[in-house]
Chain A
Amino acid sequence: MQPHLKRAFTLLALVIIAFIFVRALVVPASFGQYGWYRGDSVEDTRNRPVEYAGSISCGEENCHKIIYSVWAKDRHKTVNCETCHGPSEKHVGNVRIMPPPANDSRDFCGLCHFKRAARPANFPQIDPETHNKLKCTYCHSPHKPWFI
């Protein structure tokens, strides 16, 4: 074989070896342990701090019992407290740590209630252009939405 071809093929071989080498370095050792993902990611996820306490913890211990019972009987009962009020695990552990203030912006309500072609027709939806421009909570109680 001509020397220049030898050099070319050596270069090609080096590129391929470099790829294999880099691949061995970059792909995590636990990849494929359980499936097509990094096995250690299961452990990592498990070790993350718990942020949400769950709606039931709000109604326990007489803290927010009244509002909880209002909410639990109405149509928004499928929307958890922390969906609007934010993650509250720390607040449950220590009442002095307040959760972030509830999000009551129009756009936030609109995530579910602005008109979209993809939503079922009987789902409560409004056209943000034509519907009253006030804040939603001005008329609708988020805990009892049809209580105007």
Chain B
Amino acid sequence: MMENLIWGYIYPNEAEIQWSILIVLYPYITGLVAGAFIASSLYHVFGKKEVKPVARFALLTALSFLLVAMMPLLAHLGHPERGIEIMFTPHLTSAMSGFGYIYSFYLIVVVLEIWLSFREDIVKLALNSKGWKELLYSALALFSYDISEKALHDDEKLAKKLAIIGIPSAAFLHGYVGFIFGGIKANPWWSTPLMPLIFLMSAIVSGIALLILLYIASMKLRKHAIDHKCLQSLAHYLWIFLILDVVLELLEIISMKYESLEEIEIINRLLSEKIAFTFYGVQLTMGIFIPFILLLLAGIMKNRQTLKMIMISVSSILVVIGVFAMRWNVVIGGQEISKSLSGTLTYVPVFFSREGVLPAIIILVIPFIILRVVTYILPPWKDMEEESE
């Protein structure tokens, strides 16, 4: 059976593909985090009032996904209790050794940012509730209940500064994931300095698309009208970042084809046989081209809010799937070509196994559960609902 999965000459240690669907999930989840954070900073840093309804919700989304970002890696490597050692004794010749520190720094920024933007609500909840709730919210308020005008103003100033630090660290967190792949010089499909930028742009795209979907879904669940101005504005940013994303992705392919270095034959085989469907079909056509047209139409159409909303949500779904396909094409595609540059392999996903599709689905569902819990403790709905009236 194995013979059908292999073509040409491969090295013995390549016969089994090591980085499975869980490693596809890792950049996908970190990407969603970075994207959601950058969407929230559109309001917090750049003062785009239209996106205010989702600004705090975006931060909570970023936190929920950030908390599971390392889970695919821990599940893939096994021995999760050893994970912390990457921070205790980081080996500086490994690109991966920075992850723990970058991740922790970013987690601190996100948590502080959430705390500052919710502090007024936390204090009010602490003062107006009884029993364990009072204790919970008082602890969250750090037993300091000053919500005078001046205190809140100071909070806002600090939150803005933090968001300014947050953007580069979000970019760093995700650009760095791209760097891990881009820095593997033995693999021609990965080794390009463009990789961090490509990862970053697709991260922003997927984060905004996810935010749009979560916003629409939560407003529908809460039976509340959607703020079309906000939705339109998010769709606009999605469209802009989609352009940047496709430019970079195509630039990589075009320069590879134009330069036609010795690896071009295997890259051509990869693109035309191994990942033709997921690359041209899902990543480019479904994930970029169709949403691009739909968002363009939604942008120039007048009135017809419901139709626009459907178009925007369809594009967002396609974008979220397309970005997953992009991660797949990078992670799996890169391993389907042999280092000999004259052979290919095939990855066959399994469902029930530690490296299988089932754990991947479970890991992908956890952030939504965390988000539900976090939004129960810190409801962001107030500004999502007020604005739309």
Would you call A7 and B89 a contact (CB within 8 A)?
A: no
Would you call B15 and A7 a contact (CB within 8 A)?
A: no
Would you call A5 and B89 a contact (CB within 8 A)?
A: no
Would you call B154 and A2 a contact (CB within 8 A)?
A: yes
B258 at the interface (CB under 8 A from A): no
Which of B16, B88, B141, B143 is in CB contact (< 8 Å) with A27? Answer: B88
Would you call B144 and A36 a contact (CB within 8 A)?
A: no
**In the complex, chain B residues whose CB is within 8 Å of the CB of A19:** 87
A118 at the interface (CB under 8 A from B): yes
- Residues facing B in A31-71 (CB within 8 A) are 31, 36
- Residues facing B in A108-141 (CB within 8 A) are 115-119
**In the complex, chain B residues whose CB is within 8 Å of the CB of A7:** 142-144
* B84 to chain A: closest residue by CB: A26
Would you call B89 and A8 a contact (CB within 8 A)?
A: no
Chain A nearest Cβ from B166, distance in angstroms: 15
- Residues facing A in B143-176 (CB within 8 A) are 143-144, 146, 150-151, 154-155, 158
A23 at the interface (CB under 8 A from B): yes
**In the complex, chain B residues whose CB is within 8 Å of the CB of A101:** none
**Known contacts A27-B89, A36-B89, A119-B12; A4/B141 CB under 8 A:** yes
**In the complex, chain B residues whose CB is within 8 Å of the CB of A2:** 146, 150-151, 154-155
Question: When chains A and B are docked, how far (Å) is the Cα of A115 from the Cα of B2?
Answer: 9
**In the complex, chain B residues whose CB is within 8 Å of the CB of A118:** 10-16
Residue of A4, A11, A27, A115 ringed by the most chain B CB atoms within 10 A: A4
Would you call A8 and B112 a contact (CB within 8 A)?
A: yes
A12 at the interface (CB under 8 A from B): yes
* A28 to chain B: closest residue by CB: B89
**In the complex, chain A residues whose CB is within 8 Å of the CB of B347:** none
How many A-B pairs have beta carbons closer than 8 Å: the answer is 52
What 1/0 mask marks residues of chain B from 94 to 119 whose CB sits below 8 Å from any chain A CB? 00000000000000100010010001
Would you call B88 and A8 a contact (CB within 8 A)?
A: no
Would you call B142 and A12 a contact (CB within 8 A)?
A: no
Which of A11, A27, A117 is in CB contact (< 8 Å) with B142? Answer: A11
Would you call A36 and B15 a contact (CB within 8 A)?
A: no
**In the complex, chain A residues whose CB is within 8 Å of the CB of B108:** 12
B259 at the interface (CB under 8 A from A): no
**In the complex, chain A residues whose CB is within 8 Å of the CB of B386:** none
* A36 to chain B: closest residue by CB: B91
Question: When chains A and B are docked, how far (Å) is the Cα of A12 from the Cα of B16?
Answer: 44
**In the complex, chain A residues whose CB is within 8 Å of the CB of B6:** 117
Would you call A117 and B15 a contact (CB within 8 A)?
A: yes
**In the complex, chain B residues whose CB is within 8 Å of the CB of A93:** none
- Residues facing B in A1-17 (CB within 8 A) are 1-5, 7-8, 11-12
* B6 to chain A: closest residue by CB: A117
Chain B nearest Cβ from A39, distance in angstroms: 13
Chain B nearest Cβ from A27, distance in angstroms: 5
B3 at the interface (CB under 8 A from A): yes
Would you call A8 and B115 a contact (CB within 8 A)?
A: yes
**In the complex, chain A residues whose CB is within 8 Å of the CB of B5:** 117
Chain A nearest Cβ from B194, distance in angstroms: 31
Chain B nearest Cβ from A2, distance in angstroms: 5
Would you call A116 and B154 a contact (CB within 8 A)?
A: no
**In the complex, chain B residues whose CB is within 8 Å of the CB of A11:** 142
Which of B11, B12, B146, B155 is in CB contact (< 8 Å) with A3? Answer: B146
Would you call B142 and A8 a contact (CB within 8 A)?
A: yes
**In the complex, chain A residues whose CB is within 8 Å of the CB of B3:** 117
Question: When chains A and B are docked, how far (Å) is the Cα of A4 from the Cα of B88?
Answer: 31
**In the complex, chain B residues whose CB is within 8 Å of the CB of A8:** 112, 115, 142
**In the complex, chain B residues whose CB is within 8 Å of the CB of A115:** 2
Residues in chain A within 8 A of chain B (CB atoms): 1-5, 7-8, 11-12, 19, 23, 26-27, 31, 36, 115-119
- 10 A-B pairs besides A11-B142, A12-B112, A27-B89 with CB distance below 8 A are A2-B146, A2-B150, A2-B154, A2-B155, A4-B119, A4-B141, A5-B155, A5-B158, A36-B89, A117-B10
Which 8 pairs across A and B sit closest by C-beta, in order of nearness? Answer: A4-B144, A118-B15, A118-B12, A117-B2, A7-B142, A117-B15, A23-B88, A2-B151
